[in-house]
Copies of this chain bind each other. A is one copy, B any other.
Amino acid sequence: MEYQTPKFFHVMQYADAADGDTIDMVSGNPDWEPPTAIREGLHEYADGDADEFQYPPSDGLRPLREEIAARRNVDAGRVVVTNGTGEANYLGMARALDGDRGNEVVLIDPVYPYYPGKASMLGGETRLVAADRDGSLDTDATCEAINDDTALVVLNTPNNPTGAVYDLDAVEAVVETAADHDALVVVDEVYDHFDFSGEFESALTLDADNVIVTSGVSKSMAITGFRVGYAVFPPALVDAAKTRHMLVNVTTSRPAQQAVYEAYRATDPDYYADARDRLESRIETFTTALDAARADYTRPDGAFYVLARFDGFPGTMANVKTLIDEAGVAGMPGATFGTAREAWIRFALVTPRVEAAAERLVDYFAD
């Protein structure tokens, strides 16, 4: 396993070094304020007793685990608090590849690049299945790809990068087929607070014993740097995951856990609704510009990315650099996300400058 500087950093470095002003539509960091209770929670923690600076339980502070369990309507014993959704996915995927379920990992293309990276690190072989044209799950193709060598299917809904919100029926079909072949399904729901369709339903509602659901507050609370996520395991799978969590990380950083717990309790639903409204307005602005630029795209139902294809301007790394130099807008090359959208560019809408970026793209492509 050799280190590759992720394309993400490569594009960011190029944009930083560029002569002109560049609008960053690369990174997936929310650009808005975290809940006030995050700041207050840290202040309160900082003044606490010295023994609150010591190891919390390995699987997470008990009130935080209980809060998560109540919100997800599961038993707290199934919840492991992790170092971000990233570790939650690692634990879930490891659970599938640990035993004798096989070594194939079915991923949906376009794919969030950490999934094949983790699969490979854990000894799995990735098998990519193309999503439907609009980014939704191609149920038939996905089920056909599952066989007795399949250990794991990873789904992500709302989806990065397509913005699709998967139909629960489609997820259920995949989960059932996976169960027939003794395979697990990890469903990454980290964008669960960014559903514009009103139709997102968690895979936890399936109550299936081969489904691991992961999520976190990096995006919903705008604190990607805190690293607080969680995984909800079926009862029979949770103990081995706790062991791995303990052996890798011992536990998740306590100041961050405590601040997140306070924010869960104190944050009004309006906070999340405001973020959704802000993003919907940006989506409207940005897709109107894409229409004017005669680009191909699917309007996202969730998350905060737009994949777009410009006529005669495939989304290669070279063209992404050209767009930085000549239009002052930085996106991500489609090849970052597997093979199905190599001609596309992903734009993240987590910048207050979406309107300016939209104007720049119109100027560049519509002339």
**Partner-B contacts on A (CB < 8 A):** 1-4, 6, 27, 29-34, 38-40, 42-43, 45-47, 50-56, 83-84, 86-87, 90, 98, 114, 117-118, 121, 222-228, 239-240, 242-244, 246-256, 259
- Give chain B residues whose Cβ lies under 8 Å from the Cβ of A42: 42-43, 45-46, 255
Q: Are A225 and B29 in contact (CB under 8 A)?
A: no
Partner of A222, one of B3, B39, B53: B53
Q: Are A247 and B55 in contact (CB under 8 A)?
A: no
- A-B contacts, 17 of them at CB < 8 A, read A2-B240, A3-B243, A6-B246, A29-B51, A34-B53, A53-B225, A83-B83, A86-B249, A87-B249, A87-B250, A90-B248, A118-B247, A121-B244, A248-B248, A252-B253, A253-B253, A255-B256
The copy count of this chain in the complex is: 2
Give min CB distance, A72 to chain B, whole Å. Answer: 21
- Give chain B residues whose Cβ lies under 8 Å from the Cβ of A1: 98, 240, 243-244
Give min CB distance, A25 to chain B, whole Å. Answer: 15
What is the CA–CA distance of A152 and B6 in the complex, to the nearest angstrom? 29
What is the CA–CA distance of A240 and B4 in the complex, to the nearest angstrom? 9
Give min CB distance, A236 to chain B, whole Å. Answer: 11
Closest to A87 in B: B249
Partner of A253, one of B32, B243, B255: B255
Q: Are A243 and B4 in contact (CB under 8 A)?
A: yes
